[in-house]
Structure 1
């Protein structure tokens, strides 16, 4: 799964290639030396012309999968923590590529000194590691542990708008390690089979760029040049330093957190107690500072604007209507009170933004595909790719193009294997899934699998054009269609969430595999090794991700509870989407629906403005999807991310070259350090070891009252 350097919003799935800045600093090879127009440009593949390409089996080494498994576990913890806190997941490709390169280089150097090295480390093997690691950790995201899958649980149902339904028990399925692993094994592989027969059309005939896959390939190519290897060593050093700092800082903070959710540095009233009560504070999370350094400035500013709009303006105003718009004295988690406004307005913006981008990307995909097929016999290709150089500007294939095409077409994946695999897995799923989820009838599953290949193709093609995966949008579509079909009295909520998981996994893995084929095409990795590494990585993820989730689930009894350390905010959002699909809007508090309509239309209009305004202005127009995220979960993470943006901005002003080269490595270190701290933290929680200190902050008046009370106890 080759994703971008930007925010992989669980609800947004926007994928762009901000890795370009990094590549400018570290990935330039002879390809960039276009000395004269009209002459053959010295190519990347000429740089590697004396390097032997291993066979596809030779690319699948034991050491590659050992390193992939270790990194897969590490990144699964990171992705899981992010999924269960805010749902914002940045790209970890740079970290995966760097660490994979570093570990295998260290391995091969040790073997070489012992005289035991049989096979040198190649960029093809590096590509296999990259593919396998991201496929493994990707299951921690697409598995729905922070969204649709955990949204089925009783913990989330008790906080959702169906909490009082008499049929709630039909729409609840609590997590269990056995059925989760079984579910993922059934649904996670079929997407790989759906687009395999189209790999030549997508990569060679249509020349789709797949920006994330292309950026990853250039990164790997650069590592294996002498200059790139030297820079990679420096980047790993930077990553290690900030990893250590982040891990130790998280360890230090743990001592002050006690058992009370209001204790610790994460509740530091940075801007005063009044601002803290309205969720405006900096919580000293190095993870989200790192995420902010990776995400584009516009994403972070959009998050901050959404925080100000919701927690700074809307919620304080609506709270003044308590007793008028909604009953006074309701529980904070009641969807008939302020909680209903917070969740459903966020859903309205998510749906408006998602619908607009769904129509736009689907429309662009259809138009581009029509033009491509119409001009099939001409020299015209999609204006999205420049895979290699041309000769005399007339479009003659370059050495790079010829070499890559030769290798890409050498090891074919039989079409019968893909088609037969799809049919076999679909048949198994049709029998198995209704046994896991009783409301999900077998004919619902058949309908999903009949439409899935077309949707997988659309997602893979659109991702190749724009780098945007609409996997979660297709998942939400399945929620509404299957949920409404099943109905409220027949477990429609559970059926819709399960259908979301099936659809989301199919279309997500399809686009991910095609991204990997593009990476393999540009690094001369065999399509077979790409396919096998994706399968092995997915298989590892189907076991590793549920086990990682189970550690969190067992260690933190309040997992999924609003206000806890791991609130799993998107689980409630997805569950309420399913409730809307089967029930409609009748249960919303007063005027909530009107506000939702306004925000839904506003999200569409903002997107229209972004796409129609001149580029100079469009870059200042916020992204509605990013604005919606703080509506429900608060603002502290947005402030953390803006701090990360500020750090990167100052760094770029002082030394842009170094910032481009080392920024992603520093950010990855900050993310990984706090993410890995969750492992010993979970172990301590399972062992019933609690922090010894509770650090709280009180107002001056409250502190006087506490002192007076303590004084009375001492008499």
Structure 2
């Protein structure tokens, strides 16, 4: 008898006709989740974007299960996906791509406190403090938004459709019909909706539906491994080649002068191309439009006008630091405006629903998470989390009562974020984090460390609860046990604490973070807003541009939300403020490759997918993204071992991460 056989009857899964909580499903989910975790940590530190990759987790889990002696059931695949997502999104949930690098940027001269660099054990403590609150928060939110309100959660619904197609099941009962397009994504959580996931639209014609399903199933079963293998291998090989010949990822496409002085170079990363395929053309267009405005117009303007006299790439007195403020204004305006209709609807629902707590639950009690577990877990995570935060950062960093307020605020913001995610497929965690920073600037004024930490605590709960809700929607549509998913979430989060902390510690030993290889752009967003709220000072003339662009994108976000609610085709082509702002944050090299991916997906989707299921593009994109993420771990080991670049030929512009400036 193995551990799971002994444990299953004791946790209420024995009566299930299909016991999802199996050791195979959990171990497979952990393996896939660790790959996603490495990928998200690397990509998040590079560009501020991470991917939930729920559909990719389900797809890879299915492919692997086909070679097992006993293929996994659809419900086991859901446990695989749930465990993988909980494991893979910890780099954002625990602030590894934003909060921790921001604390490392503190200046004793400017901020009154020296940079904070946590040890491995302290980072474990911080991660444990924020890793479980969102998990225990998800069961009661699930009952409200999935069971009572039946919000669509497009990515979760899309994943359920994929799993049902692959396992030859009837399509899940959903009202999503006859829509195909593109939706906006958050810069730190680029989930995709069913409308823009290739090969996953639902049509009314039964014969055509069956034919499409059969085609998709054949593509995955007969070509899935081959396509995944070559795309993974190609991306991994290119990444390793670029490690030994750094100019590969720093090509001065527009000449050495523009590369050296204005940071215009090209990174032909297949991982970025894969991300572009996942994002879709409208989002990558918004990002590149922001890149053009920020780096071809505002950056030269601020430099030539003397508003940003330092080197262009300097985040303190250079053009990049100057345009950061415009980016911050756009992100805040877009996020706040997009939350307004969600908040309005929530208030209306609360006022109008008389039987809001009447249950439409379809699961039996022994498959649900008991409420006593939820209440006990929430109280324990808050109390233990507060103690751990106080232990790690000390009384001068953030007071315990402020941390408790951060958890409470995180719970309230989670409800807003989850509703936004359920309706729009956008979890506006960046905007929610800014709300928490604004409140804590008033609650604990002048304490820049407390501002960042409390914001991170609040953001962690909102981000984690939102991601897990997509998985719970998938499970609800395919009748998977919520309790089995809950255990997968707990196990995935626990393992990811060790994996992410160790990987982050190794990255810090091998590279300067933020630095040329890993600029960690969102760290500057957190720190800059905290400094602004304390000092109220902006770089010269950046305030007027910040207000102007914020107002413009508040209007655009309003128009986009109104068009989306009317399901008007224009909604997908109105620029996304968040994606536009990310074009400001990152150098042009990050945006150009993603545009290539967006164009490839659009051309394939509109020209070739009629003759060949375009689910193939999901497989290719998954291989591209995971290939670079996995090989980046090998590059990290080589860096720590003292094995460096073979040749720095072509690096005269001084922008090659593995070579000294020339």
TM-score (normalizing by structure 1): 0.77
Q: 2:620 aligns with which of 666, 669, 674?
A: 666
| Runs of 4+ with deviation above 6 angstroms | 375-378
Cα offset, 1:532, TM superposition: 0.9
Cα deviation for residue 375 of structure 1 reads 8.1
Distance 2:531 2:357 in 1: 50
SS at match of 2:50: strand
Corresponding residue for 1:271? 254
1:260-313: CA deviations, max 9, x gaps? Answer: xxxx12221223345434333332111101111111211111111111111111
Aligned match of 2:158 in 209, 215, 227? 215
Q: Deviations over 1:58-90 (max 9, x none)?
A: 321112222122212211111011101001223
Alignment gaps of 5+ in structure 2? 1-12, 170-213, 654-662
Q: 2:126 aligns with which of 183, 195, 207?
A: 183
Residue 250 of structure 1 corresponds to 239
- 2:109 alignment partner in structure 1: 164
Distance 1:108 1:75, change over 3 A: same
Aligned length in residues: 588
Offset at 1:503? 0.8
Structure 2 CA distance for aligned equivalents of residues 666 and 549 of structure 1: 27
Give the deviation of 1:368 after TM superposition: 4.4
Q: For 2:111 and 2:350, locate their aligned partners in 1 and report how far apart those are by CA, in whole Å.
A: 49
Partner of 2:392: 436
CA contact (8 A) 2:281 2:601 kept: no
Q: Distance in 1 between matches of 2:296 and 2:652?
A: 22
SS at match of 1:89: coil
**What corresponds to 2:546 in structure 1?**
596
- What CA distance in whole angstroms lies between the structure 2 residues aligned with 1:415 and 1:617? 44
CA displacement, residues 659-715 of structure 1 (integer Å, 9 cap, x when unaligned):
62211111111111111110111111011001111121669xxxxxxxxxxxxxxxx
Q: 1:364 to 1:660 in 2, by over 3 A?
A: farther
Tell me if 1:543 matches 2:532: no
The change in CA–CA distance for 1:293 and 1:79 in structure 2 (over 3 A counts) is same
Q: Is the 8 A contact 1:434 1:441 kept in 2?
A: yes
Secondary structure in 1 aligned to 2:89? helix
Q: CA deviation at 1:601?
A: 1.3
Say which of 377, 384, 399 aligns to 1:421.
Answer: 377
Contact 1:189–1:535, Cα closer than 8 Å, also in 2 = yes
1:505 to 442, 451, 460: 460
- Higher CA-based Rg: 1
**CA distance change for structure 1 residues 366 and 656 in 2, over 3 Å: closer, same or farther?**
farther
Q: Which residue of 625, 628, 632 corresponds with 1:678?
A: 632
**Residues 52 and 85 of structure 2 are in contact (CA less than 8 Å); yes or no, is this contact kept in structure 1?**
no
2:595 matches 1:642? yes
2:45 pairs, out of 71, 84, 101, with: 84
Alignment partner, residue 59 of structure 1? 20
Q: 1:696 aligns with which of 632, 642, 650?
A: 650
Q: Superposition pairs for residues 445-456 of structure 1, below 5 Å?
A: 445-456=403-414
C-alpha separation in 2, matches of 1:692 and 1:436: 41
**What is the SS of the residue equivalent to 2:614?**
helix
Which residue of 401, 409, 417 corresponds with 1:459? 417
C-alpha distance 124-667 of structure 1, shift in aligned 2 (>3 A): same
For structure 1, list consecutive stretches of 5 or more residues without a partner in the other structure.
Answer: 1-51, 110-119, 258-263, 382-400, 700-715
Give the corresponding residue for 1:33: none
Query: 1:199: which partner in 2?
Result: 142
**CA distance 1:54–1:669, shift in 2 (3 Å):** farther
1:56–1:525 contact (8 Å) kept in structure 2: no
Match of 1:654 in 2: 607
RMSD: 2.7
> C-alpha deviations, 1:498-522, integer Å up to 9, x for none?
1112111212222233322221112
For the residues of structure 1 that align with 2:315 and 2:72, how far apart are their CA atoms? 57
For residue 146 of structure 1, give the secondary structure of its aligned residue in structure 2: coil
Counterpart for residue 276 of structure 2? 292
TM-score, normalization: structure 2?
0.83
Say if 1:98 and 1:236, in contact at 8 Å, map to a contact too.
no
